[in-house]
């Protein structure tokens, strides 16, 4: 009895938590933003270096007939482009999932779920051909 009451109270407390990111509430947020932007700058420079070095290895490998160097050069170019894409898309992807997660509901009774709507059921009389869809043979 006491255990059930404690579990019910804990469930009420857990569903009352609300998370809304606010920059003004976090101490040192500007330093953290500067750090992340600096890491992104290093990653972009590394991506450019990977594309350039991979392109050189690819070109020399093809020219000299070194298949292994050519293959590694191609991989380096693709890795550089992939890194640049990830650096550019990281903030957009994280913001997308943050916005999607913010729209999720906990399913508490005061917030109805989208799937709780009743289904609309229409009964058809097979004897009445006006109710049947036109694609059905009569």
The answer to whether position 77 is within a domain reads yes
pLDDT digits (tens, 9 = 90+) for 77-110: 999 999 999 999 999 999 999 888 888 776 655 5
Does any domain span residue 78? yes
Kindly state whether residue 22 falls inside one of the protein's structural domains: no
Q: Is residue 96 part of a domain?
A: yes
- Give the total number of structural domains in the chain: 1
Which residue in 41, 75, 45 sits closest to 58, CA to CA?
75
52: in domain: no
Q: State pLDDT tens for residues 38-87.
A: 999 999 999 999 999 999 999 999 999 999 999 999 999 999 999 999 99
| Helix runs in the chain, H state only | 2-15, 29-64, 67-102
**pLDDT at position 37 over 70:** yes
On whether the pTM is more than 0.75, the answer is: no
The dihedral through the CA atoms of 38, 41, 43, 49 has a sign that is negative
Supply the range of the domain harboring residue 72: 67-102
CA distance linking residue 34 with residue 24, whole number of Å: 16
Answer whether residue 3 is part of any domain: no
Task: Tell me the chain's radius of gyration from C-alpha atoms.
Answer: 29
Q: Is residue 83 part of a domain?
A: yes
């Amino acid at each position: 009895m006491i255990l059930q009451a404690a579990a019910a109270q804990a469930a009420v407390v857990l569903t009352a938590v609300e998370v809304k990111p606010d920059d003004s509430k976090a101490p040192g947020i500007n330093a953290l933003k500067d750090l992340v932007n600096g890491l992104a700058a290093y990653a972009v420079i590394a991506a450019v270096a990977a594309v350039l070095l991979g392109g050189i290895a690819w070109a020399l490998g093809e020219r000299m007939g070194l298949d292994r160097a050519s293959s590694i050069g191609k991989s380096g170019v693709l890795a550089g482009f992939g890194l640049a894409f990830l650096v550019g898309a990281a903030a957009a992807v994280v913001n997308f999932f943050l916005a999607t997660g913010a729209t999720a509901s906990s399913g508490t009774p005061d917030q109805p779920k989208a799937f709780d709507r009743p289904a609309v059921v229409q009964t058809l009389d097979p004897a009445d051909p006006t109710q049947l869809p036109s694609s059905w043979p009569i």
